[in-house]
Amino acid sequence: MPGLLSSPVCLTVIWFLSWSLRPSCAQILTDEVSGVQYGHLESNVTLACGKSQIRIPVVWHLNHSSVLPWHKVTSDGSLVLMHVDHSAQGIYSCYDNQGLLLHSVKLRLGHPPGLLSVSCQVPNHTYVRCSWVESVATFLPAQYNASFRGSGQEWRPCVVDIVRKHCDVDRPAFWQTIHTLRITATNALGSETTYARFKLHELLKPDPPESVLVNELEGFPKRLIVSWTFPASWPLHDAFPLVFQIRYRPLGSMYWSEIYSEESPVVIFDALAGHLHQVQIRARDEVNAESQWSEWSPLLLARPWEVFTTPYPTEEVPPELFFPINTKPETSTAKSHNPVLEDEGSLGLVILLVLFSVVILITVLSLIYVMWVRQRRRDHVTKQELTSMVKMKSMPI
């Protein structure tokens, strides 16, 4: 390694690097006000060539190039950039006529903040998270200051996560009907305060139920058992009951059947024997009728228990399939289709498919046979040729 470092190539590279880095180092060292100037996009921006009296004429450079956007230089040496757009950003330097650097400044362009569009999530009674997006693109970094209060109460801080653009309130006064969030966005060009009003009890929306499982019940070809746990963010307390809605349908059907329950597990009594079912569950605060349902849990697939010796379980149709019996009082059955008709349709389709595949199989098999026969003949011929060649070689010349 030391040999490599002292090699001429390496020395040249180091010399070149230090030479090429030198101007920027020099510039930083000689910078009087080395700083950032912010300007409004689509306006005229004036850059002064330092504070002191300037010997005229001065020369302006952008990023060490003499190519400048649309501009004029005033009598005191200031640079006025007209109707700037993003391409005017960069490092501006002014030099006197001997080429001596007088001043340099970085120009950043953008807009002052506008109103924010705010939304709040309330996954339980002790927590509010409000997120926001800017209604105008400012192109500049912003600071946010947020506070929260119930009507007639003191402002309390809403703890800001500046990167994810949200803030959290711990233990809001849930009994107050109306709450206000106040967020002030501030950037280098200005600030704007947004007020947003909410009814927390209407925003209350639990997270979806967790650990959802759907299983068959052995010996019952038309039953499924669904179990779940409360969302982890919901307090396990008698004071905060949840009601759960379970929906299910045979795979491929358009119509859901529904069951409501306060407790896990729940048994589905009218599953379609031998069919895969889709099952989902969601939750809502049971006391507060104005609150929102959670999102649905991910779709789960399950098939009721089957006797595997029964080859066609769909041929015998139990009469209750025509008149679904609500085994639970809360069950609201939205099924209006006739699953048996669908089954006959699909049986015909299956037969067609089987016939079709048999035809294809026969075609492929005969093709393979023809090719095999031809190949064998060819092999036979080559073998004969080979043996005659071997014979010829072994013949003494």
Ligand X SMILES: *[C@@H]1O[C@H](CO)[C@@H](O)[C@H](O)[C@H]1NC(C)=O
Q: Contact positions toward ligand X, by CB under 6 A?
A: 43-44, 62-63, 82, 87, 89-91, 123-124, 126-127, 145, 147, 155, 184, 233, 235
Give kind and range of the element (H or E) at residue 248.
strand 242-250
What DSSP string describes 191-241?
A: EEEEEEEE-HHHHB-PPPPEEEEEEEETTEEEEEEEEEE--TTS---TTS-
Name the H helices within the chain: 2-6, 8-30, 200-203, 339-394
We find the least distance from the C-beta atom of residue 185 to ligand X, in angstroms, to be 10
CB 326 within 8 A of CB 263: no
We find the least distance from the C-beta atom of residue 323 to ligand X, in angstroms, to be 44
Cα angle for residues 8, 11, 15 (degrees, 5° grid): 135
We find the least distance from the C-beta atom of residue 180 to ligand X, in angstroms, to be 13
We find the least distance from the C-beta atom of residue 245 to ligand X, in angstroms, to be 21
We find the least distance from the C-beta atom of residue 141 to ligand X, in angstroms, to be 14
Which residues, listed in sequence order, are joined to residue 132 by a DSSP beta bridge?
118
We find the least distance from the C-beta atom of residue 310 to ligand X, in angstroms, to be 48
CB 95 within 8 A of CB 103: no
Residue placing its CB nearer to ligand X in the complex, 127 or 256: 127
Report the distance separating Cα 28 and Cα 6, nearest Å: 30
Tokens of 216: 């068959």
CB 86 within 8 A of CB 111: no
We find the least distance from the C-beta atom of residue 72 to ligand X, in angstroms, to be 7
Residue placing its CB nearer to ligand X in the complex, 62 or 246: 62
Residue placing its CB nearer to ligand X in the complex, 145 or 261: 145
Give kind and range of the element (H or E) at residue 160.
strand 159-161
Q: Which position's Cβ is nearest ligand X?
A: 90
Q: Is 335 helix (H, G, I), strand (E, B) or coil?
A: coil
